[in-house]
Amino acid sequence: MSPETSMHIRRGALIFTAVTLCAFLVYTATDSIRPGSFSSSSFASILPSYLNYSSPPPPESTLELEEILKNASTVNKTVIVTTLNDAWASPGSIVDLFLKSFKLGDGTHKLLDHLVIVAMDQRAYNRCRIVHKHCYALVTKGVDFHQEADFMNPHYLKMMWRRIDFLRTVLELGYSFVFTDADIMWFRDPFPRFFPDADFQIACDNFLGRSDDMNNSPNGGFNYVKSNDRTIAFYKFWYSSREAYPKFHDQDVLNKIKFDPIISNIGLKIRFLDTAYFGGLCEPSRDLNVVCTMHVNCCIGMDRKLIDLGIMLQDWRAFVSLPSDLKNQSIISWRVPRNCSLDSVRHVDTPETEND
């Protein structure tokens, strides 16, 4: 073989290798964005700006959080998370009723071992250390979250969006979570009612009858989220969307972006939870034989919430004291709302809506 022929063969082999490699890269790039096969790296190529919205937490804070999550986790790396500020943490306040519901509920007492209370200020953290064993202090530089935040004021919005950003961190650390507002009473273990194939499932203010109906009205106060690339990408997209809707809180922004093509592009499977099991004042769970949680949503003001939460616990105690045959007849029903007027907070598609 002549030197010229040998050189042509080597050159041809190099060209073939280069073309093959390019074709492979194009194939894998397009294949990576198919629904169900999404990854964080493909998210970066589609929407790189969404990956730079915030700086990571300090390493020492991450290590502390990882230790707390590890101690509270179930065997499949799932935790229950609630957030708390001083206004809801004082003795006799909402956190006491929240914890009491776990103790009075059917099969819920053991779930306290997996509950992480995220304190938004130092006083809430100090109280948490007294009443619960898994407490994390979420410090936000330059912001004091200790006071009760009026709905939709700038202080409230910062607190809600800080919560979304924090939950994204939990997912990135590899932990799935059930997030619950502290004004939700836990009466039964909700895990058997969750959909095993969903990435993100959320309670509703109003449930239209089908869990896959995207027209359901979600309530951000209760959701179950599995840790994977799809949910991490979704939480980054959700958090970044606050800039597109600056006068809206996280729940109303979710109601906007749930129809965005990005949701289907990343392959996120969303399911909405039936209010028969996950009820609230907006739409109560009518049958106490099956109710898992009840939320004092559609209610403005901590004092009003406290009264109706107390009545709700009384109703539950009355129900569990009944003999089995009377329980099955469902002769007990909720006496709430009592102090919370639904007429003034009916859901409309504006940022002024109060459904928390």
Q: What is the pLDDT of residues 260-293, one digit of tens each?
A: 999 999 999 999 999 999 999 999 999 999 999 9
Determine the pLDDT at residue 25: 39
Both tokens assigned to 40: 């964080």
Q: What is the pLDDT of residues 189-210, one digit of tens each?
A: 999 999 999 999 999 999 999 9
Determine the pLDDT at residue 340: 84
Determine the pLDDT at residue 122: 92
| Residue stretches of the chain with pLDDT short of 50 | 3, 5, 7, 9, 13-37, 48, 50-52, 54, 145-152, 344-355
34 burial (CB, 10 Å; 0-12 / 13-18 / 19+) is: exposed
Distance separating alpha carbons of residues 226 and 177, to the nearest angstrom: 7
Nearest partner of 299 among 221, 240, 232, 217, judged by Cα: 221
Distance separating alpha carbons of residues 60 and 64, to the nearest angstrom: 6
Determine the pLDDT at residue 333: 86
Strand partners, 117: 82, 135
Determine the pLDDT at residue 29: 37
Determine the pLDDT at residue 23: 40
Mean pLDDT taken over the chain: 82
Determine the pLDDT at residue 152: 43
CB–CB of 104/313 below 8 Å? yes
User: Which conformational region is residue 330 in: left (phi greater than 0), alpha (psi within -120 to 50 degrees), or beta?
Assistant: left
Q: Model-level pTM?
A: 0.81
Domains of the chain by range and CATH?
50-182+192-271 (3.90.550)
